[in-house]
Chain A
Amino acid sequence: MPALIIRRIIQSVIVMLTVAVVAFTLFRYVGDPVSQMVGQETTIAEREQLREDLGLNDPIIVQFARFALNTVQGKFGISFRLGRPVNELFAERLPATLELSLVAALFSLVVGIPMGVYTGLYPDRVLSKVFQTISLIGISLPTFLIGILLILFFGVLLSWLPTFGRGDVIQLGWWSTGLLTASGLKAIVMPAFTLGMFQLTLIMRLVRSEMMEVLRTDYIKFARARGLTNRAVNFGHALKNTLVPVITITGLQLGSIIAFAIITETVFQWPGMGLLFLQSIQFADVPVMSTYLILIAFFFVVINLIVDILYHVVDPRLRFDKSVVSSH
């Protein structure tokens, strides 16, 4: 176990370094940082001075080391577009994105697993066919189109739910939450549904196929032969064994939920990181772009690590030392 964790951490560090190199290359070579910062009447000598002050004449390794050091300390530079420190911008928007992503993930699990179990247990019932059709539509409809349709029906035609923004937020220290106010809760319904829809279909299909696979195995037949109730067999034995891949996929999808939040945030004008990133692309705001890249990579790496460890906690087969298994 510790060996595995150490190996995983080394791998994660390599991934982070690769991403840091990409981000640094972006930062350093896409657009000249000096000409972004100075006005038209700055003389060449002043430009040179600034270049020297910023350390842009140092060897590339030194520059990269400085960049990495700053990144670790959370100094990401200043946004070209907004003229404010990038870490401030992200700290403001991080809670919005994380809240949206977590609510969406929770929604997709809570709805997706029961739907998958049902379609796996009774593949021929009408309701299962309905669920299957919904999942096919969920995969084929692009995220932004689902969002637009929701806005049209619940926002414009019925005017039940707000169509943009987070509603009222409450400050808890540096974290701003919309989950404690009525308007905030109303505002998160449509974005979370939009974001969670694709994951929901994914989870449903996964649980369904795993469930059908498990129900065919010998130990399920044996459990039935022992005269256990359907409930004990289906939920105690079958469902429990389908959850390992579900945990993996959910964990890995959490990262892509945060990335896909870019689309949902654009549709609903949700003031999160994704919207910030998108605007930075439109205005070629390199510091914000490279910071977002590093931040997302960090989320991915951490989530992957947690999933790997969780995998070993959940699946007892993996906990055996390999030497013990092979000596049998």
Chain B
Amino acid sequence: MKSVARFQDTLHRFFDSDIWYSFKKSKVTISAACVTVIMILSAFTAPWIAPHNTFDPATLDLMDAFTPPAWYEDGTSKFLLGTDDQGRDIFSTILYGSRISLFVAFAAMLLAMLLGVSLGLVSGYIGGALDAFIMRIADVQISFPAILIVLLISGVARSVLPNVRHEEMAVWVLIFAIGISNWVHFARTVRGSTMVEKNKEYVQSARVIGRRRATIMFRHILPNVMGPVLVIGTIGLAVAVLTEATISFLGVGVPPTEPSLGTLIRIGQSFLFAGEWWIVIFPGVALAILVLAVNLLGDWMRDALNPKLR
């Protein structure tokens, strides 16, 4: 019962807070949040809500190939947004595709966050030569565009892994590459706030009563530096979705057997000249809406959590 009461208390505090208030005031943010939630939910539940299972070759019929969207004369209501060259339903491929896109983006962001936050904490708390070393690496890495680093890592993975393996490993390689290329922002921010926090009294008293260094860093300081991390994580999620789409579009990301949104656009691009625009435009629109919504959410979060703007 006690935990229920505490939960209600937390809930009450949340609905009473400035953050909830600024959320309620902004119509754009509410719609962005709705769109994001709907897209994440529909991606998550794709196997149940998608009208066709695009991974099962038995359900595909080549006779259905290149069916235009339902509102065209020769379209059918069976395929709402038309079909591609293999007779796959575009609407279903978008659902499955955004599932893969979002999975890669979330996993990559988690990796970047884990790496960046730990390195930033250690760097800011311990300081000295270790700090200088980590930050120099960060400086060099940030001067290169993330997309180049991701391309390079997947290029190396391609030459190291045998051909058969790299198709099934592609998703993991991509997560690793995008994660590695995005840790710097987290590390820099966390390092900055850690250097401020470590001189505060609660840290000093924790040190005085003899708590271990790791405990102080991860139990005491970490919760106090997480605010900006969430903002960077949200904006980073949009960036990760875009990066994944771009790499897959370039043909070195997720293989066509399990297409993400970027792979779908890559496949569809070749049918543009024949006038079959729906194969490429709908996945593109889905991607753009997803990124726009997450970006707007991130923008709002940055303003709401920034005490300077209040």
Contacts and interface: CB of A to CB of B under 8 A. Distances in A.
A142 B145 contact: no
Contacts, number: 99
Given A282-B251, A286-B159, A296-B148, A15 B140 contact: yes
Given A259-B148, A260-B147, A300-B143, A284 B250 contact: no
A139 B238 CA distance: 11
B291 A140 contact: yes
Interface string B243-275: 001100111100000000000010001001101
Interface in B199-255: 238, 242, 245-246, 249-252
Interface size class of chain A, counting residues whose CB lies under 8 Å from the partner chain: 35 or more
Interface in B128-173: 140, 143-145, 147-148, 151-152, 154-156, 158-160
B143 A156 contact: no
Contacts of B275: 156
Interface string A265-287: 01100000000011011101010
Contact of A280 (B143, B147, B155): B155
A256 B158 CA distance: 24
B192 interface: no
Classify the secondary structure of A's interface with B: helix
Interface string A96-124: 00000000000000000000000000000
Interface stretch (B40-48, B53-61, B280-288): B280-288
A82 interface: no
A144 interface: yes
Contacts of A141: 288, 291
A136 B292 contact: yes
A152 B147 contact: no
Contact of A282 (B147, B160, B252, B292): B252
B252 A278 contact: yes
A143 interface: yes
A142 B242 contact: yes
Nearest to B252: A281
A304 interface: yes
B77 to A, nearest CB: 25
A211 interface: no
A284 B251 CA distance: 13
28 contacts: A31-B159, A136-B292, A137-B292, A140-B288, A141-B291, A142-B246, A143-B246, A144-B249, A144-B265, A149-B281, A149-B284, A156-B273, A255-B143, A255-B145, A256-B145, A259-B148, A260-B145, A262-B151, A263-B246, A263-B249, A266-B249, A278-B250, A281-B151, A281-B154, A284-B159, A293-B152, A296-B148, A297-B144
Contacts of A140: 238, 288, 291-292, 295
A148 interface: yes
Contact of A30 (B143, B159, B284): B159
Given A142-B246, A284-B159, A156 B272 contact: yes
A304 to B, nearest CB: 7
Interface size class of chain B, counting residues whose CB lies under 8 Å from the partner chain: 35 or more
A289 interface: yes
Contacts of A238: none
B181 to A, nearest CB: 12
Given A262-B148, A267-B269, 4 more contacts: A144-B245, A148-B272, A281-B155, A282-B252
Interface in B106-144: 140, 143-144
A284 B158 contact: yes
B14 interface: no
Interface of B: 140, 143-145, 147-148, 151-152, 154-156, 158-160, 238, 242, 245-246, 249-252, 265, 269, 272-273, 275, 277, 280-281, 284, 287-288, 291-292, 295
Given A140-B292, A278-B250, A289 B277 contact: no
Contacts of B280: 148
Interface of A: 15, 18, 26, 30-31, 136-137, 139-145, 148-149, 151-152, 156, 163, 255-256, 259-260, 262-263, 266-267, 277-278, 280-282, 284, 286, 289, 293, 296-297, 300, 304
Contacts of B287: 142, 145
B288 A300 contact: no
A259 to B, nearest CB: 5
Contacts of A31: 159-160
Taking each of B145, B252, B281, B288, which has the highest tally of chain A beta carbons within 10 Å of its own beta carbon?
A: B145
B272 A144 contact: no
Given A259-B148, A262-B250, A152 B155 contact: no
A179 B140 CA distance: 35
Nearest to B266: A144
Contacts of A280: 155
> What 4 A-B pairs have minimum CB-CB distances, sorted nearest first?
A284-B159, A281-B155, A140-B292, A256-B145
Contacts of A139: 295
Contact of B284 (A15, A148, A282, A286): A148
A259 B147 contact: yes
A206 to B, nearest CB: 16
Nearest to B156: A30
